[in-house]
Amino acid sequence: MDLDFTRVYTQNHAPSRGTEFAGGLTGDMRGKGNLRFGEMDPMASESNILLLIETSSGFTRRLIRGVSEFCNRQSRWNLQLDEGGPEMLGENWNRRKSSWRQESRPDGIIAHVESPAIWSELCETGLPLINVSGIDWGESVPWVDVNNRTVCRMVVDDFVGRGFKELAYCGVESIPWSQRRHRFFEHECGKRKVNCRARQLPGLALDLAEMRRLAEWLSSLPKPFAVMGCNDACARWVATACLHANLRVPDEAAIIGVDNDELVCELSEPTLSSVIPNTEKIGHAAAVVLDEILTHGRPVHPIPNIDPIGIESRHSTDAAAIGQDLIRLAMRFVHGHAHEGINVDDVLRSVPISRTALENGFRQMLGRTPLAELTRLRMLKARQLLTSTSLSLTEIASRVGYDRVDYFSTVFKREHGVSPSSFRKDASNS
């Protein structure tokens, strides 16, 4: 195999075989000196699966983890990973394509590809192919993606729940998934009758002139406002532009990104709130679809769009768009301590305000009482824990602020129409 190509990592998931490590093979593969690292055994009974997924982002790494989890639990697959992904191979792509066709002999491909030319070449191979990129390449190839409609609904719900009435979207004009999110964001804003503005960037790498234009646009928005970035990188540019424009985040401008890339979000100033896509479930679902095609010749079940887990709140939304100072302080206390079992009396002890003024202020700004806001925040966290962890109901109840699991279950069923256990079961089957 040509060593100029991106290093290939091959992982054998067959239970009867040993584990492979970088630089060699173990188990029943030992002693087969004619096999080179990254090359498949032609006598193997397992399916050879090629992952064309770059590994530079948290999103794509979690995709790979989801595929690997499927293999570990249910499948006899050999996974071969091009760590750079097809877009990053440049002129090596043609040599790589020839190499894996002749030496690796994949039976199927899971690809995160955003190049029309490379995607067309993959389709021409005639191999079973699953699309896990954000681009719809057509109905002829199964496409497993995050549910972008739900992503935007979560963001708008979060902004409106914090009292924002001036919302904006910042995306990239040349990226199809960014345009799709823009349309869904506008739709959700229209349903809630809040104002929506938009800014389209020329790309995700901005020069100083474009940064200034972004800062000027943000300065022109009615304050306070809230901005959804098409992804975390875009949201980080928004946060940087706010800094240049002397806009206080989150008091004057709240920001939410998408992907919850922890490195990007934690390095931002301030740290970025972000939608948490269920990326491992996307990878797992893609593997299920490919396994069905290899076994039955076609997908057996409908191809899903995977709902996100929730929103990871950080400093970029750590405030509410409330005009009155005391109500703002009360709102900040509620959002900062909702999962600690506080009640309305605790809020009143933290802020010098009467109960009547507190109730009226919350109703005027949010359309609900302080207790209803506490319940909303707790249920939001509970849904996230039910869908993304295997914690017991008792542990979840404690983590969201309830001392008694039976009372937590009663409140959850009242708010959602189903018990927490049924909600978790339905989410795992969707």
Residue found by looking up tokens 């939608």 in the block = 275
Confidence of residue 430 (pLDDT cuts 50, 70, 90): low
Q: 41 vs 379, which has greater pLDDT?
A: 379
> What does the alpha-carbon distance between residue 348 and residue 369 come to, in Å, rounded to a whole number?
13
DSSP type of residue 21: B
Residue-wise pLDDT tens digits, 178-204: 999 999 999 999 999 999 999 999 988
d(CA 17, CA 40): 14
pTM: 0.70
Q: In what order do the strands lie in the sheet with 129-131?
A: 8-12, 77-82, 47-52, 108-111, 129-131
CATH of domain 329-429: 1.10.10.60
**What is the topology classification, in CATH, of domain 148-277+310-317?**
Rossmann fold (3.40.50)
Q: Which pLDDT does position 96 carry in this prediction?
A: 67
363, 369 Cβ separation under 8 angstroms: yes
When computed from its CA atoms, the radius of gyration of the chain, rounded to whole angstroms, is 24
Return the domain boundaries, the chain.
8-143, 148-277+310-317, 329-429
Asked whether the predicted pLDDT for residue 103 surpasses 80, the reply is no
Domain 8-143 identical in fold to domain 148-277+310-317: yes
Closest to 39 measured CA to CA, from 87, 85, 78: 78
Average pLDDT over residues 277-297: 92
- According to CATH, the superfamily of the domain at 8-143 is Response regulator (3.40.50.2300)
**Average pLDDT along the chain:** 82
Q: What percent of the chain has pLDDT over 70?
A: 82
